[in-house]
Amino acid sequence: MITQSYSLFKKDFSSELRTRYAINSLAMFIIVAISVILFSIGNETITTSLTGGLFWVVIFFTAMSGLARAFVSEEERGTTLTLQLIASPSTVFSGKLIFNLILVFCMNLVIALLYSALFEKFVVQNFSLFLLTFILGNIGLAVSSTIIAAIIAKAGAKGTLYPVLSFPILLPLILTCVQLTLFSFDGTSFEEAKFELAIVVGYDVIMLTASYMLFDFIWKD
Amino acid sequence: MSSYSIQSQKLSKLFGRRLIFKNINFSWSDTGIFGISGPNGSGKSTLVKIVAGLIAPSQGKIIHKNSDGEIIPEKLHNHIGFVSPYLVLYEEFSAWENLKIFAKIRGITLNEEMVIKYLAKFLLENRKDDLVKTYSSGMKQRLKFIFALMHSPEVLIFDEPTSNLDEEGKKSVYEIAREEAKAKIVVIASNEIKDLELCDEILLLEKFK
């Protein structure tokens, strides 16, 4: 199944390079969102906690603008039936998840680099904690976004439904990641952050398990 | 000779409150061409999608069996070749790229010799490296048959197989259907008299309202 999922990911990657469905919208959104924040701040210095919060706000809305494409593009092009005929539901979900994981990691790496270059309060004291938060947060974001994208792909008002449905599901993850990011700015140790880390790990495991269990029902109409 | 069978047990399908059909029972086994006919909206496409495991019935069950026993729904796609007007191939890739991608996702090695033979049969050999988006609707329809045949499935399901095809294309489809039906189950859902003339048995859907 792993090889087949990887082949599906490669198909999506080649397709993305040719059609630029997600990459362009994500890149534009990152630039626009960070520019708007910089313009609104002006010459004022924002606090560390606000910087950490805004970092995840940009990540959340960027994910909302691009990650739904994994399934929505198949639905819009009418190729969902083709996928159903060539792969099992778990292969499809894994392939789409790999694509979204890589997209979310690349996208958030760019956001993190831009933040560290443009926001003076974006200074990480405990880099290992920040890195772990970044990795776990991205996994949770990719898993949740992928399964929500599969749910909304067949709906009429996809554009509205995606952030509306994602918000309550992603809220526990985003809030905990904001807290962990602030801990990493403060230089808090792993020991002190273990409760929040346990929440994020638990969230990732629950979402991943639930997604694989539910996807079969979502995929088969 | 195939030892494949498809059995339906009291199949019913509702979309919302609208009944499409109810209590369909049939048993197709081994080889032959089995037709599904009925007026527009009678549920031909819905029934073939249920048979292919693409959608679930509202009631009843469909059972696929081969010599190894009952086929689980997870694996059903490996045993079925499907052609439908609703099927869309990836337009940003060429025909050849599409077929290579499908083989990889299916986890099989593309039988290039067989695929080239089919490309020639469906008159697409010279256009195999062109993007699918440059194809006419008839060429796309012909490519769907290669998509359905490329993994040598035990069952072929053709929903309105001759739509968009010229006389030459229709002839190729009928030849393929007759040839494949010698060794496997071929299901044709259509209203075209010529398509139904190929069938050994015909299921009339208006009886199941």
Q: Which residues of B touch A87 (CB under 8 A)?
A: 77, 105-106
Whether B101 shows a pLDDT value over 90: the answer reads yes
pLDDT band (50, 70, 90) for residue B27: very high
- The verdict on A75 touching B (C-beta cutoff 8 Å) is no
pLDDT digits (tens, 9 = 90+) for A17-53: 888 877 888 898 999 999 999 999 888 888 988 999 9
Contact B77 A11 (CB under 8 A): no
Q: Which residues of A touch B75 (CB under 8 A)?
A: 88
The pair of structure tokens assigned to A91 is 């292969």
pLDDT reported for residue A221: 65
Contact B86 A89 (CB under 8 A): no
In this structure, which CATH number among 3.40.50.300, 3.20.20.70, 3.40.640.10, 3.40.50.80 belongs to the domain B5-208?
A: 3.40.50.300
Distance from CA of A42 to the nearest CA of B (A): 44
Could you say which of B55, B75, B104 has the minimum Cβ distance to residue A220?
Answer: B55
pLDDT band (50, 70, 90) for residue B73: confident
CB burial readout B89-108, b (16+ within 10 A) else e = bbbbbbbbbbbbbbbbbbbe
Whether A70 shows a pLDDT value over 90: the answer reads no
pLDDT reported for residue A66: 81
pLDDT reported for residue A180: 96
Distance from CA of A196 to the nearest CA of B (A): 37
Highest mean pLDDT: which range of A19-28, A71-80, A177-186: A177-186
Name residues 16-55 of chain A within 8 A of B (Cβ): 18-19
What is the DSSP track for B17-78? TEEEEEEEEEEEESSEEEEEE-STTSSHHHHHHHHTTSS--SEEEEEEEETTEEPPGGGGGG
Q: Which residues of A touch B104 (CB under 8 A)?
A: 4, 7, 10-11
Contact A14 B93 (CB under 8 A): yes
Could you say which of B52, B55, B88 has the minimum Cβ distance to residue A78?
Answer: B88
Whether B1 shows a pLDDT value over 60: the answer reads no
Region B146-156: what's the mean pLDDT? Answer: 93
* Structural domain boundaries, residue A138: 2-219
Q: What is the mean pLDDT of chain B?
A: 91
The pair of structure tokens assigned to A111 is 């956001």
pTM: 0.89
Please say whether the beta carbons of B196 and B202 come within 8 A: yes
pLDDT reported for residue A156: 73
Whether B197 shows a pLDDT value over 70: the answer reads yes
pLDDT digits (tens, 9 = 90+) for A85-108: 999 999 999 999 999 999 999 999
Task: Express as a percent the part of chain B with pLDDT over 90.
Answer: 68
Distance from CA of B84 to the nearest CA of A (A): 10
Contact A14 B105 (CB under 8 A): no
Please say whether the beta carbons of A99 and A13 come within 8 A: yes
Number of independent structural domains in chain A = 1
pLDDT reported for residue A26: 87
CA distances from A31 to A26, A28, A81, A169, B69 (A): 9, 5, 35, 26, 57
Taking any CB pair shorter than 8 Å as contact, residues of chain B touching chain A are 52-56, 73-75, 77, 80, 82, 84, 86-93, 101-102, 104-107, 147
- Look at residue B14 and give its three-state secondary structure: strand
pLDDT reported for residue A220: 75
Weakest mean pLDDT among A129-143, A173-187, B28-42? B28-42
Q: Which residues of B touch A218 (CB under 8 A)?
A: none
Contact A85 B54 (CB under 8 A): yes
Amino acid found at A129: L
Residue B134 class from Cβ within 10 Å (0-12 exposed, 13-18 middle, 19+ buried)?
exposed
Region B48-55: what's the mean pLDDT? Answer: 92
Q: Which residues of B touch A220 (CB under 8 A)?
A: 53-56, 73
- Kindly report the CA angle at A68 between A23 and A132, in degrees rounded to 5? 75
DSSP A46: P
- What residue in B sits closest to A216 (Cα-Cα)? B74
- The verdict on A86 touching B (C-beta cutoff 8 Å) is yes
Could you say which of A15, A19, A85 has the minimum Cβ distance to residue B82?
Answer: A85
Selection from A91, A216, A221, A80 nearest residue B50 by Cα: A221
The HSE-up count of residue B116 (CA atoms within 13 Å, CB side) is: 3
Weakest mean pLDDT among A5-9, A75-79, A137-141? A75-79
Region B111-119: what's the mean pLDDT? Answer: 92
The pair of structure tokens assigned to B193 is 């008299």
Whether B2 shows a pLDDT value over 70: the answer reads no
Q: Which residues of B touch A11 (CB under 8 A)?
A: 90, 101, 104-105
Ordered by start, the domain boundaries in chain B are: 5-208
Phi-psi region of B18 (alpha: psi -120 to 50; beta: other; left: phi over 0): beta
Distance from CA of A186 to the nearest CA of B (A): 47
Region B92-108: what's the mean pLDDT? Answer: 94
- What residue in B sits closest to A76 (Cα-Cα)? B88
Task: Express as a percent the part of chain A with pLDDT over 70.
Answer: 100
